Structure 1
Amino acid sequence: MAKIAVEEPYEDVKKALEEKGHNVTMFVTDENVTGYDLGVVRTINEGHNDEFNFPVVAMSGMSIDNVVEAVEHRLNQV
């Protein structure tokens, strides 16, 4: 079971990931977020990739199912 940080306000993504058995916590963008296996964010700003100390999945243009698939894929790579 992975610890995943999901950017507010994506409660639907949080719920979908919890249904897959993950431990999911919501966060706000300017919060200092550490200690997670993976993060789900709205978009990744160019030049701000060092904002997190874990891999992130950017939701931009993806459905909830796509986000869950991308998260599971990234977790399997780690």
Structure 2
Amino acid sequence: MPKIGVEQSLTDVQQALQQKGYDVVQLTNENDAKGCDCCVVTGIDNNVMGISNSVTAGSVIEASGMTADQICQQVESRINH
């Protein structure tokens, strides 16, 4: 199953992705994003995590304004793309 990095504050998203069977890791620093197929961030600390500067080759999803279900759909569409 794909490895998804999720920012710490997005616990509802972490739980939803885990229920779908994804390997979910918390993003506490930029090294956590390495090896992730997709990362979900709040966008509040834009660029602080260093994810936007090519730490990961996977997609980065900004979660602001989306529900956990919408984020799961985004993850699935990007993983299956």
TM-score bracket relative to the smaller structure: 0.7 to 0.9
CA contact (8 A) 2:4 2:23 kept: yes
Gaps of 5+ in 1: none
Output the CA distance in 2 between the equivalents of 1:74 and 1:17.
14
Aligned length: 75
Q: TM-score, normalised by structure 2?
A: 0.80
Output the CA distance in 1 between the equivalents of 2:75 and 2:41.
11
| Equivalent of 2:75 in 67, 71, 75 | 71
Once superposed, which parts of structure 1, at least 4 consecutive aligned residues long, lie more than 4 Å away? none
Gaps of 5+ in 2: none
Percent sequence identity is 39
2:58 is the alignment partner of 1:49 = no
In the alignment, what sits opposite 1:5? 5
- Give RMSD over aligned pairs: 1.9
